[in-house]
Amino acid sequence: WEHGSGPCGPCSEIYYDRGPEFGCGKPTCGVGCDCDRYMEIWNLVFSQFDSDGNGHYERLAKPNIDTGMGLERLACVMQDVGNLFEVDTVAAVLHHVEHIAGKTYKQNEKDDISIRVITDHIRSTVFMVSDGILPSNEGRGYVLRRLLRRAARHGRMLGIDHPFLTELVDTVIKSSEQGYPELREHEDYIKKVIGTEEERFGRTIDTGLAILNNMIDKVQTEQIKSEGKLVLSGSDVFKLNDTFGFPLDLTKEIAAEAGVEVDEDAFHVEMNKQRERARSERMAKDISGWSADLFGELTAEPTRFDGYDTLSEAATVVALSDGDELVDAIATDAAGESKSGVLVVLDHTPFYAEMGGQVADHGMISSGGAKLKVTQVKKTPKGYFVHTCELLDGTIRTGDPVTAAVDEARRMAICRNHTATHLLQKALREVLGEHVHQAGSYQDEKITHFDFTHFSAVSGEELAAVERRVNEKIFASMPVVIQNLPIEEAKKMGAMALFGEKYGSVVRVVDAGGWSTEFCGGTHVKNTAQIGCFKILSESSVAAGIRRIEATTGFGVLRLLDERTDVLARAAAALKANNLKDVADRAESTVAELKETGKELDALKAQMAAAKVDGLFDKATDVDGVRIISAYLTGTGADTLREMIDKVRDKAPNAVTVLVGSDGTKTMMAVGVSANAKARGLKAGVLVKKIAAIAGGNGGGKPDFAMAGIRDTSKIDEALNAVPEIVKGELDL
């Protein structure tokens, strides 16, 4: 057996004879025939040669046996069925797809393809989600997203016009839970992930498909060809992907069904341009982003990180940059002004570089008269720790011996938050369920953010339980033991790894009292008691199926306590409460008093409005049988104007009322037309536009009531004086 270059050798194959009814009937039919009679179920390759692919074979230093049994093929044999889709566990899912689609398998080949695609993909995705994979745009997450979206699209091809994949989850779990009981345990979580992704894709595909189909129609109609083939332009496909999130693979699949190809080269050119634009923006925001390019040509050994064991040590400057290019020396200017954006690479360092969600250390680098304040540290792909510094004084040169000292208090605060994050993850899994997985984290000296998979808001009771559990482990003074272990040994300990992360053969394991065990390269306290205490600040959604808890520890909790005590003290003083305990009661009684006062004020305003209305009739004028009532009322808001006009309409059915009011922040005009006046062709919306325009205003409304804003208050009188003439012009005489 061989496949191009690489290991190869003799093989022993086991076949199952399915009987002549599966054969081709040819006299020469036998093992190796293209028909379905002889099915290979097992293959053992005795790998003993290394082939160069050109007929030359070298003996392997360590020959081996590679054995592979086809589980699905063996299931077909054991159940005496024609193919995988007829095996009982898979057939149950296929029949459910038939039921939802209202189709019968083996009646239409095109429908059969869609039914098989959905059956296969929903089985795969249920297991993937149960294993902690979430839909994303890269890695395993992208494979999951592609499978789900392809299944959803084939559902539409079968005429299924609603989200349906979660309905199939039950059948997949029921068919497989005997061998995989964790599927039932994660059932709700699996449905949430799949349902959310299908719903999101439903919005994408509706818009994207319409645009893509138009593109394909245009190509077919105008016969847009390249090398004799119908081709969809790469720029169009990129716009579809960039604007609507329509994936390239799906575009290719749909286009291929229509006999159209995609100009992938042009698509990738556009994608690279976008990445370059994004990269340039990142570089502009963070000077350390240039470090990989600036120090890419260095041939020195990678920076050795000693910060796990020491916070201050002697080191040597390996390279310097001013942010634009490598230099031999950097000095402050003649006036002694400090210089920012100085990049320093040392042969070894106690400074932790930003990674794994943990921020970089801050501190000082000093050498003779040179003093540099370290504000950021990043690690390049070649392993150089680039310290972004502000040169406070003196001159720093390549080759200078320096003392590198980390800000110890800040490092300790970061350690407290990082170790607390590990405890938080374990507590969340205990309180919410084993489906909780880390989806991102961030720790600095003030707070920790922890993002995790969960599809509903965490209740107040659950948050309290999580917080209490973390604090119990802090107060238990559990030792935090850090070891470098072979990865398999670490996994046997139950250490949790970040899904999708790449790890070497030896991993760093952080164990807190045997309760929380995780792979981690960050810095930590030596005992949970050093965390002091733990307080959750907030819980929120950051993405579909992803929640975030923000928390603080140690002095952060004390600062929070001081801030809240200060707020309570100021509230107590404002509410004239005797002590802090009385603040809540005093606030409740004050709110009740304000509500009562508000009711009294509303009643008083109504009385005043009624009194003002009576006075308005005294100055009314008559225009061909229509009573014109107008006034400018300072200290009167829009609501009061509306009430007054309602009262005028009730009292005078043949009136037009124009009132201008000001509440101190804005000036408004209100126009009301009573029933009889409206019957004569007058409309409030028309009148308010013409009257308000004189004072630089504009507005509109219904035939019986309309409002407008007034910009030029100096012309209010002019506008009100023009009301009779404007009304006369609008009357049906």
The pLDDT tens digits for 143-200 are: 898 899 889 989 988 989 889 999 999 999 999 998 888 898 888 888 988 988 888 8
- Position 365 pLDDT exceeds 50: yes
Please identify, among 347, 379, 406, the residue that sits at the C-terminal boundary of a domain. 406
Show Cβ contacts of residue 351 under 8 Å, excluding neighbours closer than 6 positions. 307, 360, 361, 363, 374, 377, 385, 387, 404, 406
pLDDT bucket at 287, cuts 50 / 70 / 90:
very low
Same domain (yes/no): 421, 550 = yes
Same structural domain, 372 and 422: no
Q: pLDDT-derived band of residue 491, with 50, 70 and 90 as boundaries?
A: confident
Calpha distance 231→227 (Å, rounded): 9
Residue 528 DSSP one-character state: G
pLDDT number for residue 350: 97
Of the residues 374, 406, 438, which one is the last residue of a structural domain? 406
Residue 224's pLDDT band (cuts 50, 70, 90): confident
Which whole number is the average pLDDT over 707-725? 91
**Each residue of 92-113: pLDDT tens digit?**
999 999 999 999 999 999 899 9
User: Quick one: 398 and 438 in the same domain?
Assistant: no
Cβ–Cβ under 8 Å, residues 547 and 457: yes
Domain end among 79, 104, 139: 79
Distance CA 733, CA 731 (A): 6
Q: Quick one: 398 and 380 in the same domain?
A: yes
- Cα atoms in the Cβ-side hemisphere of radius 13 Å centred on 472: 9
Q: Is the confidence at residue 133, as pLDDT, over 90?
A: no
Domain boundaries, position 462: 411-560
User: Does the pLDDT of residue 40 top 70, yes or no?
Assistant: yes
Report if residue 600 sits inside a domain.
Answer: no
- Contact 444/416 with Cβ under 8 angstroms? no
* Cα 656 from Cα 731, distance rounded (Å): 11
Yes or no: say if 407 and 362 are a contact pair by the CB < 8 Å rule. Answer: yes
One domain for residues 426 and 475 = yes
Whether 238 is covered by a domain: the verdict is: no
User: Which tops the pLDDT comparison, 48 or 286?
Assistant: 48
d(CA 513, CA 519): 15
Domain count of the fold of the chain: 5
| Position 502 confidence tier, pLDDT thresholds 50, 70, 90 | low
- What confidence tier does 207 reach under pLDDT thresholds 50, 70, 90? confident
- Rounded CA-CA distance 297/287 in Å is 18
Query: Do 556 and 425 belong together in one domain?
Result: yes
Q: Are residues 20 and 91 in the same domain?
A: no
**pLDDT given at position 501:** 57
- The CATH code of the domain that includes 646 is 3.10.310.40
Between 294 and 716, the more confident residue is: 716
CA nearest 389: which of 459, 340, 333? Answer: 340
Whether 279 shows a pLDDT value over 60: the answer reads no
Asked if residue 587 is part of any domain, the answer here is no
The C-alpha atoms of residue 185 and residue 190 are separated, in whole angstroms, by 10
Q: Is the pLDDT of residue 554 over 90?
A: yes
At 421 the pLDDT is 96
Same domain, yes or no: 92 and 56: no
pLDDT at 403 over 80: yes
> Across 306-310, 336-340, 601-605, which has the greatest mean pLDDT?
306-310
Predicted pLDDT of residue 84: 86
Q: How far is the C-alpha of 177 from the C-alpha of 180, rounded, in Å?
A: 5
Q: Which amino acid is at 717?
A: D
Q: Is 645 part of any domain?
A: yes
d(CA 489, CA 92): 39
Q: Are residues 551 and 423 in the same domain?
A: yes
Q: How confident is the model at residue 288 (pLDDT cuts 50, 70, 90)?
A: very low
The β-bridge partners of 397 are: 329
Strand ranges, E, within 52-159: 57-69
Residue 450 lies in a domain: yes
- Kindly state whether residues 402 and 431 are assigned to the same domain: no
Q: Is the residue at 32 inside a domain?
A: yes
- Is residue 725 one of the residues assigned to a domain? yes
Quick one: which of 305, 309, 389 has its CA closest to 347? 305
At residue 158, the pLDDT reads 92
Whole-number mean pLDDT of the chain?
A: 88
pLDDT of residue 5: 85
The verdict on 531 and 620 lying in the same domain is no
* Strand ranges, E, within 513-589: 516-519, 534-543, 546-553
Condensed to tens digits (0 to 9), the pLDDT of residues 628-652 reads 998 888 777 888 888 888 888 888 8
Together in a domain, 345 and 436: no
Q: Is the pLDDT of residue 545 over 80?
A: no
Q: Which two tokens stand for residue 569?
A: 């003290």
pLDDT at 703 over 50: yes
Type and span of the H or E element at 343:
strand 339-346
236 lies in some domain: no
Find the Cα–Cα–Cα–Cα dihedral 320, 323, 326, 329, rounded to 10°.
-50
Check pLDDT > 60 for residue 255.
yes
- Return the DSSP state at 691: H
CA dist 362 and 347 (Å) reads 18
pLDDT given at position 155:
92
For residue 216, the Cα-to-chain-centroid distance in whole angstroms is 32
pLDDT in tens, 443-470: 999 999 999 988 788 999 999 999 999 9
pLDDT of residue 731: 86
